[in-house]
Structure 1
């Protein structure tokens, strides 16, 4: 059984579990293990990991605009090439574009050199299971060894650092913070709702009650509610009660203030990315969620103020999605993804990491992006540079990993 903390639902940022806060403050004292005093690197930098639960469709966010195969594979979902008019991709370089929903939030950061995107990133977990792969990433352990569910990679990182002040912006303590260091958690969950609530639906139904469209209107709302409930249930299952993108947008500035003033190692999960049906292209469901996510990240960057220069935000997801759209105008569980690395000191404004042509011969199993940059290597390279970890310390965070230095910090 996996032990988790913070089982009591928390409605606002004030609802910190007092026991966890006190334990977290106690965890700031000098740490000793087996009689040994740590002489660990100091946690001067700030690191926030944003986990997009549900597997976001990376190919429609960082778009391979130079690939004709992309446009052949997505006749209903593809984002038009830059310069094609309203709703077209925002140019990043000759090969890649950005979803237009991120025009006012992430694009300015990219243009200032504060965002880098790493395509073809992910894990060697091939289950395509939300839960298995989320666990894989949060634990940060090798796939082919027995899992220790009480040892998440962020807990291990916190254990290697002095002056660390960790926090999880989640309803329950996630796997990644399971370990020897006490970590407080606080929920920011705010579940999204349908565009028309039940009161509005009743008013509209009453308007048509005695007319020829009465039956059609009533049936339309019935079907809508049924479909919405099915989609919501499925997404919430994949999201593991993570905050909605709207919830993240509304809370990101509060997260920024807390990480500016008190905490320096954080984790937040954002759900709602399992887009099997009616995903949308330049507009629609995914576009709306991206807009919320982008505004949240931009608000966080603004709120954290001058500390932004010493902050790194990593945005990742358990896996990507199928490169070809499915018959329901959506995408299914895939493999390789695109990670985001943001921060005032990030060497951004570029697409980083190993790349291949986006065409049919380079698909993984003829369906997905391949993984060319392993997430443990990428994160290992980042934290080694951020905190100056030596090989032994890094090995305790990510065992048997060769850190990949993409010159991001």
Structure 2
């Protein structure tokens, strides 16, 4: 019995910290589901959403002689989305069809005003969702605060879960939140016998109920995934990769959880990231299959009530470096997907600027941040859940929501 296994279990079962979120609870929209996908490592958004027109295209190609995605019509070229933007060709079979069905949108020049360019500092800052000019409270992440105002907990109508080994910062707080990684569900740190020992250890104590709830959540998730794994021997689905994990997440969020978080690594492309093909293209293809598989597995009815937001801590330098890669940048591109996107579906939305010369870049090197992430999420939450200004202020203190009419 490892102490870390017990701590991991209690992270599933027990609320962390304190606060008043549940005292100001608001009813969630019927059936609304939200999944936040965090691309850790800062993916290169300039090769995801490619400028394809005029001076912007010329500047892009001159800044990236070795890694620029070819233009539409060329081999492995960008896929036109509108007159200004093209999509990386690796997403032709996954994300592009969702965009064409108006079930996907992109928000360029998005991110945080944090200027540390540190993966860890900026990831923490985004997950906490707190003002940059104040002290950090590591017991309070923004998705947990959202769950608080929605009155959520793992065994109630609003049920948060992180599909991660440990409870991430974004889910820490007063509201109960489950966490379980789905990639290695067959290898659990605590077996049935140990579960019974732990339950007996905490019987007649204040932790008895949280421990029991933690085991109940774990057992329900395992039963659901085991049924899928048993069926997998009859079809071609692989047990590896984000696509399969995403389908598992979809099944759980369709029937059991409605506020989710998952992180995906492998995006820190300092060396040899490639252009229309190569390392980054492969990562895009895997991720695209995952989100498309998630949408398919949800089914049409549930997908209409679901929103998936793909974010990263920051973007990368507009110019390539000497190793055919890119370095830590600033602004990035967010993805928003769902079956019920409003007029934003099938569009590139938010405040934008044409990157046609070095002076248009932030500090002569990066995409600027024009769509601050807390304001963007605030506008989304207001539409999804009908939150009042006071409730939004509880989630993102001091931020005016930016309504991009996403749903």
Q: Structures share a fold, TM > 0.5?
A: yes
Q: Does the 8 A contact of 1:171 with 1:185 survive in 2? A: yes
Q: State the match for 1:342 in structure 2.
A: 337
Change (3 A) 1:37 1:132: closer
Aligned-residue Cα RMSD (Å) equals 2.2
Q: Does the 8 A contact of 2:317 with 2:365 survive in 1? A: yes
Change (3 A) 1:380 1:37: closer
Shift of 1:153: 0.3
Q: Which whole-Å CA distance do the structure 1 matches of 2:47 and 2:183 have between them?
A: 25
Q: Does the 8 A contact of 2:13 with 2:176 survive in 1? A: no
Residue 69 (structure 1) aligned with residue 49 (structure 2):
no
Q: State the match for 1:3 in structure 2.
A: none
Of 67, 71, 82, 1:81 maps to: 71
> Which runs of 5 or more residues in structure 1 are unaligned?
1-5, 10-16, 191-245
Residue 361 (structure 1) aligned with residue 350 (structure 2):
no
Change (3 A) 1:89 1:36: closer
Q: Where in structure 2 are the equivalents of 1:173-188 lying within 5 Å?
A: 173-188=167-182
Of 151, 163, 176, 1:169 maps to: 163
Q: Which whole-Å CA distance do the structure 1 matches of 2:14 and 2:298 have between them?
A: 25
Q: Which whole-Å CA distance do the structure 2 matches of 1:340 and 1:47 have between them?
A: 13
Q: State the match for 1:313 in structure 2.
A: 308
Q: State the match for 2:242 in structure 1.
A: 248
Q: State the match for 1:105 in structure 2.
A: 94
Q: Does the 8 A contact of 1:20 with 1:182 survive in 2? A: no
Q: Which whole-Å CA distance do the structure 2 matches of 1:131 and 1:189 have between them?
A: 23
Q: Where in structure 2 are the equivalents of 1:2-151 lying within 5 Å?
A: 7-8=4-5, 38-44=24-30, 45-66=32-53, 67=56, 68-84=58-74, 86-151=75-140
Q: Which whole-Å CA distance do the structure 1 matches of 2:20 and 2:334 have between them?
A: 37
Q: Which whole-Å CA distance do the structure 2 matches of 1:255 and 1:39 have between them?
A: 26
SS at match of 1:304: helix
Q: Deviations over 1:312-335 (max 9, x none)?
A: 000000000000000000000000
Q: Which whole-Å CA distance do the structure 2 matches of 1:175 and 1:189 have between them?
A: 20
Of 268, 276, 292, 2:270 maps to: 276
Q: State the match for 2:216 in structure 1.
A: none
Q: Deviations over 1:151-192 (max 9, x none)?
A: 1000100000033100000011000011001111011357xx
Of 323, 332, 346, 2:318 maps to: 323
TM-score, with length taken from structure 2: 0.79
> Which runs of 5 or more residues in structure 2 are unaligned?
152-156, 185-239
* Residue correspondences, number: 336
Of 359, 379, 382, 2:380 maps to: 382
Shift of 1:250: 2.4
Q: Which whole-Å CA distance do the structure 1 matches of 2:13 and 2:129 have between them?
A: 27
